[in-house]
Structure 1
Amino acid sequence: MKKTVLIFTLLFFGIYYSQTLPKFENDTLTTSTGFKVYEGLNLKIGTGSMNDGDFKFIRTNASSMFNYYSTTGYQGLVNQANSFRRSNSGLTFKVKKIMTRGNKRNGFVYYVKIGSGLINYEMDVENAIKYREIIVPDEFLPKEKSQIQNSETKYDKLKKIKELKDSGVLSDEEFQKEKDKIMNE
């Protein structure tokens, strides 16, 4: 039983940690999908992901004098009051600044400041890419979980269980059962 739990734990962490975390180095933000964002980059706006077509992950900058603060007004929906309007779909905005929030212990979230004129907007880049609120080349779109899991071939799985058998984690009988499962997938 312990060996089976160990196998599933190793497989889970192998899949989980194979995904890259976003990095901000030398004034360039490299997203988890490999897309590079830097000041001066023109970003094309996609479509909003909220029910009304407005943008959930692009909103009025928190430090902007145009940011709406009331939780009782606007029907208690501050997020909608500060959201980037659907009329901006298809437009291009220049990256003004890359902002980091969070800490090493709890993790970081990266925001990009875009805008025109007095009103600035902040964009949660990872989620804007994931929900296609900004348009990036297909190669930088996040892979679906099924794509990540299916990218491991039978031979990769067989190699892993063989290594577990060789290291003594799996008995001959357990190895054979796992091998049969993989071959019957």
Structure 2
Amino acid sequence: MKRLVLLFTFLIFGITSAQTAPKFENDTLTTSTGFKVYEGLDLKIGTGSMNDGDFKFIRTNASSMFNYYSTIGYQGLANQANSFKRSNSGLTFKVKKIMLRGNKRNGFVYYVKIGSGLINYEIDLENAIRSGELIIPDEFSPKEKSQNVTSETKYDKLKKIKELKDSGVLSEEEFQKEKDKIMIDK
């Protein structure tokens, strides 16, 4: 029975990840959605996905001397100590380096190194795109929604885009386009 469950799990997750795996060729990383990332590219930061507005998938680079290390966490919240702060929403950063981490057993993840001055940050690219922490062109936005996400009302969507406009992430023109799309749907 265990073998059957293990085989079934492998087939489901193995096939899914193989179909959408990012590819790195000729100094360019193509994400699972088709967005191309390379050194020198300007990436626009979206909004943080943690409850306090900080970023979950953009954090202090693991090799940085400013990275917080602890076995018990930062006030019980280890990820928040190294998270990219919400005040960076709407800013643009150049890609300094594309990095691959992981192993065959646990899988690999591509990270993009960005930064300014002494502090460098790393972006878990796939998760940052899915969560909206990175703003990418619409044609490369993930098409499928997670089953865990609750359905948003029209007013929830309007509130989100208003917040993005107020924080400077969206221009007035972009806000109006998004607002029109929301008002037409359903």
Q: TM-score, normalised by structure 1?
A: 0.67
- Partners of 1:130 and 1:145 lie apart in 2 by 9
Correspondences of 1:53-92 after superposition (within 5 Å)? 53-72=53-72, 74-92=74-92
For 1:49, give the aligned amino acid. S
In our comparison, the structure showing a higher alpha carbon Rg is 1
* Sequence identity percentage: 87
| Corresponding residue of 2:94 | 94
Q: Which whole-Å deviations, capped at 9, do the CAs of 1:96-131 have from their partners, x for residues lacking one?
A: 000001234543100000000100000000000000
| Corresponding residue of 1:170 | none
- Partners of 2:126 and 2:53 lie apart in 1 by 19
For 1:33, give the aligned amino acid. T
- Partners of 1:73 and 1:62 lie apart in 2 by 15
Q: TM-score, normalised by structure 2?
A: 0.67
Deviation at 1:70, TM superposition (A): 2.3
For 2:65, give the aligned amino acid. M
For 2:101, give the aligned amino acid. R
Correspondences of 1:102-181 after superposition (within 5 Å)? 102-144=102-144
| Structure 1 unaligned regions, length at least 5 | 1-11, 147-185
Aligned CA RMSD, in angstroms, stands at 2.7
Runs of 4+ in 1 over 2 A off after TM superposition: 15-20, 70-74, 103-107
Count of residues paired in the alignment: 138
| Structure 2 unaligned regions, length at least 5 | 1-11, 147-186
- Partners of 1:26 and 1:140 lie apart in 2 by 20
| Corresponding residue of 2:6 | none
SS at match of 2:64: coil
- Partners of 2:26 and 2:104 lie apart in 1 by 18
SS at match of 1:139: helix
- Partners of 1:123 and 1:43 lie apart in 2 by 10
